[in-house]
Amino acid sequence: MRHACKKISQLASDSLDRPLSLLERLKFKLHLSMCSHCRDFDHNIKLIHKVTAMMHTTDYGQTRLSEKQRQQLHNNLNAIK
Ligand SMILES: [Zn+2]
């Protein structure tokens, strides 16, 4: 992983916990526009965040993913490995 990508992936996970500053957002968007690796990473981390948040807010038995969402999640998890 390139040094810039490391920083960007850190920003991607930070953005889930806190709002990014304007400068950080600019750097982030600029890098994502050039780097497909980080675009995928950002997409995946947000998806996982969404799913885990969903699992925490609903009873496990009531968590319902549509077939399409399940398929998408599956594909994304495979992409990370
Ligand atoms: Zn990158």
Number of compact structural domains in the chain: 1
Q: How far is the CA of 27 from the centre of ligand 1 (A)?
A: 11
Between CA 63 and CA 56 the distance in angstroms is: 10
pLDDT tens-digit readout, 10-46:
999 999 989 999 999 999 999 999 999 999 999 999 9
pTM: 0.63
Q: How far is the CA of 57 from the centre of ligand 1 (A)?
A: 32
Range of the domain at 19: 3-80
Question: What residues does the ion ligand 1 have nearby, CB within 5 Å?
Answer: 5, 35, 37-38
Q: Which residues contact 5 (CB under 8 A, 6 or more apart)?
A: 31, 35, 37, 38, 41
Q: Which H or E element spans position 42?
A: helix 36-57
Q: How far is the CA of 62 from the centre of ligand 1 (A)?
A: 37
Q: What is the DSSP string of 7-34?
A: HHHHHHHHHHHSPPPHHHHHHHHHHHHH
